Amino acid sequence: MAKKVNTTEINIIHSHLSFFLPLNYTLSRLERFSKILTNNGYTHFDILESSELDEIYGEGITVHGRELEQYFLPFIERKLFPTSIREKGFQRFSKSIEEEYRLQINRKSLRFMLRSIDIILGPFGIAFLMLRIELSETANLSDVLDFTHHFRSVEPKVREDRGAKVLLSDDESISVHHFLFDHLCPFLQDLIPHDEKLRGYYGSLPYFDDERMYTSGFLFAREHENITQDQLFRIGQVNGRTPTGEPFLSTTNPEYIQKMLQDSLHDRWAPRTYTVTTDHAFMKITNHRPDEMRQELSQFMGTHYYNLLLHLFYKIMLLRFAFEYSSIDWDKDDEYVKSLIKSITLFSSWYYSEEISTRTEGKEVSSMFRKSFNISNLFKEVTNTLNELYRNQENSNADRMNILLFVLTVFTVISGIYGMNLVIDDWDDPFKWSKVTSYTFFEWISLITAVSGIGLSAYLIFHTFLKMGRRKWKAKKNDLSI
């Protein structure tokens, strides 16, 4: 008889949760975007003044700039912490909120503190909306995970995701989508493009997970409470409750749990602290007291935050390149192919790296992100895409050279036509159509050749200038650049 998995509960006394929503924005409007953020109370992040932003992380949590500098390799550090809006990299803007709300899920509600909001304007027109949330009331693990599951579902499409409302007051409630884009950040609607064809939220990315925020969390269980494998599995899969309110576990096979945890569990500090990394969440749980984990919590808010951000960016960009490649119309998108080749090359040389951290634990966490996000395989696919693009571009260039030779031949023929044409003299003013009716057979050939040659020349000149105009127009609209 097969073993059955029993769900066990554990009390969570405090939770620090972060929700990452990837968006797209128009890269050419970056400076305007930054001014609007500043006017709405957001502060541009400066690594030299990072310790002065304690209020955005929570009481007693300090993120030191020196630690951030030493954690990342120098060339990565320069991209993550630009000193001005004009530098290339990740432009982070933060705002302290410190307001309390309740999330109503079916018949239950849980109070939460919205600590702060980050808006990161990244390269290639990729942005992130990030919310820091605290749950300070003691709750069991199922309720915390149910909160996480429903809050991360910006556009709930299945039954298990529905039923959540953010309570602004006793008589006013809104969906998570409207909470983000109407209540917290209404200015985003004018700054982030919305594609009606995708029928998603503002800034929807058709190549990323369907309107779900990625979650990171630091969960504090009661001191010395036992942390079990089924709990760790549920944390990684964000398994909260069923629609009927029962604790939810998305497997019945204990061997499956062990297999999944082998790939996703970081147990360096077991048996009291564990980290689980999946393509849904990056979660740490401990049964130490919060005052014993100040340093670990600061690392979670600082170095691990940027480690996660960078690998999320990697995943999104690699999926984006694959999506763009699959959408190419080879007969019409010659200039776009050039842009895609350039973008993949810039991404690979400027941002992408398998090694980003100087610390042992940083390398271990990076390895888990790479495995969970399938980054290595995605990068191989993009590399193959780049090689395919180069081959097609070479063939296109060869065809273009043939066309150029053809055009030169046409102009040579035309010049000969004007020098030797039998009917050129008849075109002098005043021209009489009656002369045409008296042309001989060879004069008719000369007339048709001259007129078609001039027409073809006019067409080639018009088509060349039209392509040049389209190229400049697409270059202005294209965000596939750094």
Distance in angstroms (rounded) separating the CA atoms of residues 282 and 364: 13
In terms of average pLDDT, the best of 42-56, 65-79, 205-219, 436-450 is 65-79
More confident residue, 326 or 217: 217
53 versus 317: the higher-pLDDT residue is: 317
* For helices 254-264 and 229-237, angle between their N-to-C axes, nearest 10 degrees: 70
3-state secondary structure 238-294: CCCECCCCCECCCCCCHHHHHHHHHHHEECCCCCCEEEEECCCEEEEEECCCHHHCH
The tokens 């009927």 sit on which residue?
244
Span 178-203, pLDDT tens digits: 999 999 999 988 777 765 444 444 45
Q: What is the DSSP string of 284-348?
A: EEE-S-GGG-HHHHHHHHTHHHHHHHHHHHHHHHHHHHHHHHHT--TTT-HHHHHHHHHHHHHHH
Residue with the larger pLDDT of the pair 155 and 311: 311
User: What is the average per-residue pLDDT within 133-154?
Assistant: 94
> pLDDT value at position 202?
45
Least confident of 16-30, 56-70, 95-109, 396-410: 396-410
Query: Can you give the pLDDT at residue 102?
Result: 94
Residues 6+ apart with CB under 8 A from 144: 12, 15, 135, 219, 240
Name which residue leads in pLDDT, 380 or 206.
380
pLDDT (mean) for 351-371:
90
Q: What is the mean pLDDT of residues 455-462?
A: 73
Mean pLDDT of 389-402: 67
Q: What is the pTM of this model?
A: 0.83
How many Å is the maximal CA-CA distance in the chain?
110
**Can you read off the two tokens belonging to residue 220?**
């504090």
> Which of the four pLDDT bands, split at 50, 70 and 90, describes residue 134?
very high
pLDDT (0 to 100) of residue 65: 83
What pLDDT does residue 1 have? 38
Q: Which element (helix H / strand E) includes 168?
A: strand 164-169
Note the pLDDT tens digit of each residue in 239-286.
Answer: 999 888 899 999 888 999 999 999 999 999 989 999 999 999 999 999
Question: Residue 305: pLDDT above 60?
Answer: yes
Q: What pLDDT score was predicted for residue 190?
A: 78
Distance CA 404, CA 401 (A): 5
Interval 419-449: pLDDT, tens:
445 555 666 656 666 666 666 776 677 677 6
CA angle (155 as vertex; 101, 378 as ends), nearest 5: 115
pLDDT at residue number 453:
67
- The pLDDT, as a whole number, for residue 69 is 85
226: three-class secondary structure by DSSP: coil
Return the pLDDT at 417: 55
| DSSP state, residue 160 | G
- Among 69-78, 92-101, 154-163, 362-371, which is the least confidently predicted range? 154-163
- The gap between the terminal CA atoms of the chain, to the nearest Å, is 58
Q: How many CB atoms lie within 10 A of CB 226?
A: 10
Q: What pLDDT shows up at residue 201? A: 46
Confidence (pLDDT) at 271: 92
* Greatest mean pLDDT among 2-6, 59-63, 308-312: 308-312
Whole-number Å distance between alpha carbons of 423 and 427? 7
477: pLDDT strictly greater than 80: no
349 vs 325: which has the higher pLDDT: 349
User: Any idea which residue has 């119309």 for tokens?
Assistant: 329
